[in-house]
Amino acid sequence: MLAGLLLLALPGANATGFSADAAAPDGVGVATFAGGCFWCMEPPFDALEGVISTASGYTGGHLEDPSCEQVVTGRTGHYEVVQVVYDPAVVSYERLLHVYWRNIDLLDAGGQFCDRGEPYRTAVLHHDDEQRRLAEAALQRKTERFETGIATRILPAATFYEAEGYHQDHYRKNPIRYRYYRFTCGRDARLRELWGDEAGGCGSRRHPERWQWATDARGYAPKRLGVPLIFRDVRVLPWLSFVVTAG
């Protein structure tokens, strides 16, 4: 709540975050990242010292102020993104990039993990020339590290539309549902394949109780769920709850 009030008090900010052409006030940085499901992209940034707030939302499409139901059809052109407001004196944009890369599958051009389609593509949305320069330099280093092509794009930031309230801080509001989704989506298993011990890339964790990975020693990662999208994407069903039993 306090972080949200601080954000709204900043010049250039509004209920839907920072617009693409609004300069952040002195002493505050804004970063926007597309990394597939935005539920999973808030925790690693929230855990960093120097991050003021995170918000899940949509950007890059042709429809103004879209809903989740519209975006997940894949017909609006939007990315699911997390917008990070941070203190550059405490955490650098380069550090945010480091965390970002280690929380995505940068080789997947068709989505992320079990989430397929345009909304789940990966991209770094830069807000100024310096962010663009740093993002392009980081991308070049990843190109040298991985033999296959990098799917992540570097793009200018566009209008950011904040997602519905039930999406914000979902991992804290609904921890069981979040962990179930993350586990069945195979996110952590794939991140370990790509990054090994670097997966997550968080380092300093100001709220360790918020940073709990859904892990499985067997590396279980279902490739697809054979049901229609509306049921596969549980995020459009905020009323749905899960009962997870051992067995």
Give me the residue spans of the domains in the chain: 27-198+206-236
Residue with tokens 């770094």: 124
Instruction: Classify 144 in phi/psi space as left (phi over 0), alpha (psi -120 to 50) or beta.
Output: alpha
Identify the pLDDT of residue 202: 58
Determine contact, residues 65/161, Cβ cutoff 8 Å.
Answer: yes
Burial class (CB within 10 angstroms; exposed 0-12, middle 13-18, buried 19+) of 74:
middle
The more confidently predicted of residues 245 and 50 is: 50
pLDDT at residue 241 tops 70: no
With a CB cutoff of 8 Å and minimum separation 6, the contacts of 218 are none
State percent of the chain over pLDDT 70: 71
pLDDT at residue 231 tops 80: no
pLDDT at residue 239 tops 60: no
Q: What is the pLDDT of residues 144-180, one digit of tens each?
A: 999 889 999 999 999 999 999 999 999 999 999 999 9
The question of whether 40 is a catalytic residue gets the answer: no
Give me the catalytic one of 37, 68, 114, 202. 37
Rounded (5°) CA angle 161-17-48? 115
Identify the pLDDT of residue 67: 97
Tokens of 22: 């609004």
Picking from 8-12, 34-38, 60-64, 212-216, which range would have the lowest pLDDT averaged per residue?
212-216
Q: Is the dihedral of CA 41, 44, 47, 52 positive or negative?
A: negative
Domain range 27-198+206-236, CATH class: alpha beta
pLDDT at residue 6 tops 60: no
DSSP state letter for 127: S
> How far is 174 from 111, CA to CA, in rounded Å?
24
H helices, E strands: number in the chain: 9, 10
Q: What is the mean pLDDT of the chain?
A: 80
Determine contact, residues 134/93, Cβ cutoff 8 Å.
Answer: yes
pLDDT band at 200 (very low <50, low <70, confident <90, very high): confident
Give me the mean pLDDT over the 53-69 stretch.
97
State percent of the chain over pLDDT 90: 68
The more confidently predicted of residues 215 and 103 is: 103
Quick check: helix, strand or coil at residue 90?
A: coil
pLDDT at residue 243 tops 50: no
